[in-house]
Structure 1
Amino acid sequence: MKPGLLLASVLGFVLVTGASLATAGGSIQALEGSPPAAELALPDTEGRERRLGELRGKVVLVNFWATWCVPCRTEMPALERLYQQLRGQGLEVLAVHVGPAGAEMRSFLAAVPLSFPVLVDADLDLAGWPLRGLPTTVVVDRSGRRTHAVLGALEWDAAEARVFLEGLLDGR
């Protein structure tokens, strides 16, 4: 599907269903059946291909975002702080920018430096990752299964999110 057509489809879905592209108050929701995570193989901002499968054995937050999404931009500093706190325990973060890597994205990343990989999905090829809006963050466990998701921005370094992820990292 062409990127413009996919984006129009997503926007149409949002308008028809009332789903939000910019939800402010996300919460961590368990995913029924913990389905396997679809493979992600996307270039990072340096053009180097990154694969989700390479992170098997780690807990991974796959964060789908875009620079035009205000809540997406707002949650990034908290996601960075969380990553700094928990990466030594096996937490990884993959931020998937939905859309081309343009000047706006580069400017944002210069203003808000991130130490985790930012991948670029310029073709909007989100097969296997059912998104209802942005930002969306999917928790992938150590065995590669999608266990939880958050639709909307979350204060990732708040006690509730940190305790939840520490439990996953400790195998609880």
Structure 2
Amino acid sequence: MVEKKKRRLYIRTIILSVMVVAVAYTLYANFTKDKHAKLEIGDDAPDFVLTDMEGKKHQLSEYKGQGVFLNFWGTWCPPCKREMPDMDSQYQVYKDQGIEILAVNIGDTEFQINNFVNSHDLSFPILRDKTKDVKDMYRITNMPVTVLVDPDGKITQVEVGELTEAKIKGMMESIKPNS
């Protein structure tokens, strides 16, 4: 009889523990749902600070007044490899017209990134998201992803997948500051 009561107490304790965890998770999910909501066109672009391959810090909000072509990529990503030379080509055209490319690498080592940058002779800033915090902030699940940020700091377009040079040119024109 005593053994049966102990077993029942043990089972009730487990059930109560599971219920407490479920309630705690539900509360957490509700209080943080704004952080995990999908980014929409017209939203303020979430601000971040990342370091480039030369050790210079870049804060997105410091680019207010300029258009920002924010590209998330990886060295292992074939579409990323194909679009990078086209991005660099258009960067040469638009960098003096108030457009900045910030290419955010997700999860590669410094060695891998440097090899990639050198083999493609890229001239725009390559930022490292070592912790993947910015990736999570922007809800990046596939790569490449390009987020356009207008001179007011608003998201104007989110493009998933490989970009052609013509598409890149059109995107840069769309975020070019008024002269």
Q: Could you say whether these structures have the same fold, taking a TM-score greater than 0.5 normalized by the shorter chain as the test? A: yes
Q: Which of 107, 122, 138 lines up with 2:147 in the alignment?
A: 138
Aligned to 1:95, what secondary structure does the other structure show? strand
| Structure with higher RCO (Cα < 8 A, 6+ apart) | 1
5 Å matches for 1:6-155? 32-126=40-134, 127-155=136-164
Task: Pick the structure with more helix per residue.
Answer: 2
Give the CA deviation at 1:164: 4.5
- Structure 1 portions without partners, runs of 5+: 1-30
**Residues 1:166 and 2:151 aligned together:** no
How many residue pairs match? The answer is: 139
Question: What is the TM-score normalised by the length of structure 1?
Answer: 0.74
C-alpha distance in 1 between matches for 2:72 and 2:41: 21
Q: What is the RMSD of the two structures over their aligned residues, measured on CA atoms? A: 1.7
> What is the one-letter code of the residue matched to 2:157?
H
Shift of 1:37: 0.5
CA pair 163-151 structure 1, distance change in 2 beyond 3 A: closer
Indicate conservation of the 8 Å contact 1:45/1:101, yes or no.
no
Distance 1:136 1:152 in 2: 6
Q: Determine the C-alpha separation between the residues in 2 that align with 1:86 and 1:92.
A: 8
Whole-angstrom CA distance in 1 between matches of 2:132 and 2:174 = 33
Measured after TM superposition, the shift of residue 85 of structure 1 is 1.1
2:69–2:172 contact (8 Å) kept in structure 1: no
Residue 98 of structure 1: CA displacement?
Answer: 0.3
Cα distance, 1:143 vs. partner?
A: 0.4
Runs of 4+ in 1 over 6 A off after TM superposition: none
Separation in 1 of the partners of 2:76 and 2:85?
16
Identical aligned residues as a percent = 36
Matching residue's letter, 2:89: R
Looking at CA atoms only, which structure, 1 or 2, has the larger radius of gyration? 2
Which secondary structure does the structure 2 equivalent of 1:143 belong to? coil
In the alignment, residue 66 of structure 2 is paired with which amino acid? K
Q: Judging changes above 3 Å, is the alpha-carbon distance between structure 1 residues 33 and 124 closer, same or farther for their aligned structure 2 residues?
A: closer
Deviation per CA, 1:48-101, whole angstroms, max 9, x where unpaired?
A: 211111111001010000001111111100000111111221111000000143
* Partners of 1:93 and 1:168 in 2: CA distance: 11
